[in-house]
A = this chain, B = another copy of it.
Amino acid sequence: MSGPAAADSTAADVTAAVARAVAAAPAAARATEADRARWLRAIADGLDAAVDDLVPLAARETGLPVPRLTGEVARTTDQLRRFADAIEEGAHLEVVVDHADPTAAPPRPDLRRMLVPLGPVAVYAASNFPFAFSVAGGDTASALAVGCPVVVKAHPGHAATSRATASVVEAALASAGAPAGVFALVESFEAGVALVEAPGITAAAFTGSVRGGRALADRAAARPVPIPFFGELGSLNPVVVTAAADAARGSALAASLAGSFTLGAGQFCTKPGLVLVPADGVLERELPAHVPGGSARMLTDGIGDAFLAGAARVAAVPGVHAVIPTTEAGAPAVSAVDADAFLASAAELTEEVFGPTTLLVRYRSAEELAAAVAALPGSLTATLHAEPGEEVTALVDALAARAGRVLFAGWPTGVAVTWAQHHGGPWPATTSQHTSVGVTAMRRFQRPIAYQDAPEALLPPVLRDGWAGPRRVDGVLRA
């Protein structure tokens, strides 16, 4: 591994970084949307310019292939620029103006509402996207976009990449005139714990395991002053293949499923971890032939060990048989189980196994399928492969009740960064009702404030009558 030597941030380092973030918060909040858009674009430009340094570093640290990482940098910079465009439009401020109504009973005052930044945000980087969900990823972009300073806790799986990215971010922010202290990087497990408990931190965003996320969420909730914790934890991402779809295109589905669950060595939050298939159907029969052999390097040794432990846990459940046995960390594996045995052990079999494995649950009737769907936990995604004309309304409703994104005739592993995206879902997929991908992810780090009967000169400019952005005035929405 190249880059600077591994550094452990001490509690004092965390205290200092948070103090600088607290000091920067008023200036970050006062900055205009145009100012902050400039910060975001400067970071994007800096990352694009450094791509030839960053990608090889990340490839060495994570084992992820260079083309994937190059694409991930592009996605990360696109995300930063998209957020810049969004804040320049101004809808994220949710401006509402209600002029005074002296004729109402009781008379109504002049009230003007907008969203303002919460304050310093702690961002916990993920292991599996060293750019898009790490130092300069969606959480950092969201927080900076709305005027919150950010203290990132680096993931140890790509420490040098994190430091190199942080250098780019710091230089870009300085060149764009952002206040000093608006961004910092800390490292080490202890720093992560100290960060969520630091009094100056006003919210935290996390992408990682259920266990780690829950531990931090519990600390966030137990603080003397509790703070919101936006965690994206584990996700099973169930897929349903109807008998008709299996008959019509089971072979193609087998090929595309094999590609989806092994993508990035299965190290995607949205990896399809459980597939409900008609017993003895085409997909089941043809899947093994499509699963790539060999083994990919996993992100870290710890993740490899956890993969093997998870696979062993599944294999030990009564009724589970190995279609493609687990051999080593990073080698694709497939298990299968009949629906009745699945239902008898649903708690064990619906826990995410991070890595290149999926579980086929074999159903023999619509009733078995419905019962199995009802046993599924919350997920980021749920996918349905059905044929045109099939009556699947109840099935779609059941999947929608358990997921944040419902897909049709596709695979969940791609996550487009658009206005309509939602990357979240019922527990344990996320801890909150917000997304961590897409433009609305910014809403996590804002709070409303209303001004009552304020003299115009004391109102924030966006709340004055002349502001041109989208808003609701006296009850009427204006784009």
- What is A's interface to B at a CB cutoff of 8 Å? 26, 71, 89, 91, 94, 96-98, 106, 108-109, 111-113, 116, 118, 217-218, 221-222, 225-226, 228, 388, 392-393, 396-397, 400-401, 403-410, 414, 416, 418-422, 424, 426-428, 431-435, 438, 440, 446-455, 458, 470, 472, 475-479
Chain B: which residue is nearest A406 at the CB level? Answer: B451
- Starting from the known contacts A98-B420, A393-B458, A406-B449, 4 additional A-B residue pairs (CB-CB under 8 Å) come to A97-B420, A98-B421, A405-B449, A408-B452
Can you name 22 A-B residue pairings with CB atoms under 8 Å? A97-B420, A98-B419, A106-B414, A108-B416, A108-B418, A109-B407, A111-B418, A116-B400, A218-B221, A404-B447, A404-B449, A405-B450, A407-B452, A408-B455, A410-B452, A422-B449, A424-B447, A424-B448, A435-B448, A440-B448, A470-B477, A476-B479
A414-B106, A420-B96, A475-B419 known; A433+B447 contact, CB < 8 A = yes
Contacts of A470 in B (CB 8 A): 477, 479
Contacts of A451 in B (CB 8 A): 405-408
Contacts of A416 in B (CB 8 A): 98, 106, 108-109, 111
Contacts of A388 in B (CB 8 A): 455
| Bound CA span A448–B452, Å | 31
Contacts of A26 in B (CB 8 A): 397, 401
Chain B: which residue is nearest A478 at the CB level? Answer: B479
A109 x B404 contact (CB < 8 A): no
B421 x A111 contact (CB < 8 A): yes
B410 x A453 contact (CB < 8 A): yes
| Bound CA span A41–B225, Å | 39
Q: Which of A217, A418, A451, A454 has the most CB of B within 10 A?
A: A418
| Bound CA span A111–B438, Å | 11
Contacts of A432 in B (CB 8 A): 228
Q: How far is the CB of A222 from chain B (nearest CB, A)?
A: 7
| Bound CA span A479–B71, Å | 36
Contacts of A458 in B (CB 8 A): 392-393, 396, 408
| Bound CA span A175–B381, Å | 38
B453 x A407 contact (CB < 8 A): yes
Q: How far is the CB of A33 from chain B (nearest CB, A)?
A: 15
Chain B: which residue is nearest A475 at the CB level? Answer: B419
Contacts of A472 in B (CB 8 A): 91, 419-420
| Bound CA span A111–B26, Å | 36
B403 x A449 contact (CB < 8 A): yes
Q: Which of A94, A416, A479 has the most CB of B within 10 A?
A: A416
Contacts of A217 in B (CB 8 A): 221, 226
Contacts of A433 in B (CB 8 A): 118, 228, 446-448
Contacts of A116 in B (CB 8 A): 400
| Bound CA span A106–B418, Å | 12
Contacts of A428 in B (CB 8 A): 225
Chain B: which residue is nearest A82 at the CB level? Answer: B475
Q: How far is the CB of A425 from chain B (nearest CB, A)?
A: 8
Contacts of A401 in B (CB 8 A): 26
| Bound CA span A452–B91, Å | 24
Contacts of A420 in B (CB 8 A): 96-98, 111-113, 450, 472
Q: How far is the CB of A205 from chain B (nearest CB, A)?
A: 13
Q: How far is the CB of A86 from chain B (nearest CB, A)?
A: 9
Contacts of A404 in B (CB 8 A): 447-450
Contacts of A475 in B (CB 8 A): 418-419
Q: How far is the CB of A214 from chain B (nearest CB, A)?
A: 8
A108-B418, A217-B221 known; A406+B450 contact, CB < 8 A = yes
Chain B: which residue is nearest A116 at the CB level? Answer: B400
Of the residues B111, B419, B455, contact of A96 by C-beta under 8 Å: B419
Contacts of A406 in B (CB 8 A): 449-452, 454
Contacts of A112 in B (CB 8 A): 420
B218 x A222 contact (CB < 8 A): yes
| Bound CA span A291–B448, Å | 34
Chain B: which residue is nearest A388 at the CB level? Answer: B455
Contacts of A449 in B (CB 8 A): 400, 403-406, 422
Of the residues B218, B414, B421, B476, contact of A113 by C-beta under 8 Å: B421
A452-B406, A458-B396 known; A427+B111 contact, CB < 8 A = no
Contacts of A97 in B (CB 8 A): 420
Q: How far is the CB of A418 from chain B (nearest CB, A)?
A: 4
Q: Which of A111, A426, A452, A479 has the most CB of B within 10 A?
A: A452
